[in-house]
Amino acid sequence: MARLKLTLACWDYDRTRALADAIAAHRITLFYAVPTMYILFLAAERIRSLAESVSGAQAVFIALFIVGPQDVSIFGLDFTVAAFVGLTAPLLGIAFAFDAVNGERALGTLPRLVSQPIHRDAIINGKFAAALVTISIVLVSVIVIVSGIGILRLGLTPSATELLRLLVWIGVTILYVAMWLAFGTLLSVIFRRAATAALVGFGVWLLVALFGKFLLNLVLAIFAPIDTSLPAADQLASYQWYAFLGRLLPPTLYSEASTVLLNPSVTQTSVPATLGQLDQAQQQIPTLLSLDQSLLLVWPHVVALVAITVICFAYAYIRFMREEVRA
């Protein structure tokens, strides 16, 4: 009888937790989609005029995600759908993961989970996979809504190449969210209190996503300023160093990858290595890259995001597997 009561209690807890997660996912989808549609509404006239002026040209449909209202920015970023997704998507990863483990520990249900006839790593793997699938559904739903509005209200129809670019961009966005989800999972394992993990997670996001580039440029300007009296080749080397350090920030990696994937007219993301390459870049005739050429440009960015994700989740996995859980 006691075993039956314990089983029923576990079932009631799991059902209540799943229902709460489902309600939270629906609310997040709603509150995430409304600002995105508002951005698209503000930029609708500009997108319509752009579509009329370049009627018949390529890559018009994906302008829905990279074109925003004029003279409007947020934290120095363009007020576009892609910029909004890149700014707020990490919040979903942190919000779904900061209490993944320590929340169970605080409720006293972690020993119950560990005592089940499953492998211990299935707990942390399942939490990570479930959160990633939920966030992916939210992101895909928002992108589908934006695409539907563009088709119905603006009369823009996507080509096969544009759909492929959009799918690749969604994949990169999910990978970017997975990185922050792994970081949030790591915090939930390290810190025993969910409030502490949340403060650290959102604080790091605020520091890196909003002020990371500003603080980095400030430090570089103080300790390694660019001397304009030096030869042009030395100044170019300094700019390369600045660009390399800037790519240590995950938001920079994602921003550059999104720009290349959603804007086929972008032909490079790095500073030219020599003055000859700089002169060639300035004289280059504007052209549109194919998808495979754009993928070659963003491949290093994707590898870097995967590496950061693997490092964060691997450390969280090892720490969780070695942790002693007592009833």
Residue with the larger pLDDT of the pair 225 and 295: 295
Q: Tokens 């399942």 appear where? A: 126
Q: Name the region of 59 (left: φ>0; alpha: ψ -120 to 50; beta: rest).
A: left
Predicted confidence at residue 214, as pLDDT, reads 79
- Residue 208 DSSP one-character state: I
Write phi, then psi, for 78 (nearest 5 degrees). -65, 140
Query: CA of 164: how far to CAs of 1, 143, 160, 290, in Å?
Result: 57, 13, 6, 11
The residue with greater pLDDT, 36 or 144, is 144
Q: In terms of Cα–Cα distance, which of 198, 219, 215, 294 is closest to 251?
A: 215
Q: pTM for the full model?
A: 0.81
Cα angle, residue 18 at apex, residues 2 and 140 outer, rounded to 5°:
160
Dihedral of CA 17/19/20/25: which sign? positive
More confident residue, 140 or 47: 140
Confidence of residue 77 (pLDDT cuts 50, 70, 90): low
179 within 8 A of 250, measured Cβ to Cβ: yes
Q: For residue 285, give the DSSP letter.
A: P
Task: Output the average pLDDT for the chain.
Answer: 75
Nearest by Cα to 216 from 257, 248, 256, 260: 248
Answer whether residue 9 shows pLDDT above 70: no
In this predicted structure, the answer to whether residue 192 has a pLDDT above a threshold of 90 is no
Mark residue 56 as left, alpha or beta (left: phi above 0; alpha: psi -120 to 50; beta: remaining).
left
Identify which of 39, 67, 72, 91 has the alpha carbon closest to the alpha carbon of residue 209.
Answer: 91
With a cut of 60, say whether residue 102 has pLDDT above it.
Answer: yes
d(CA 211, CA 303): 24
Query: What pLDDT, on the 0 to 100 scale, is given for residue 31?
Result: 60
High-pLDDT (> 70) share of the chain, %: 65
Of 14-18, 29-33, 94-98, 261-265, give the lowest mean pLDDT range.
14-18
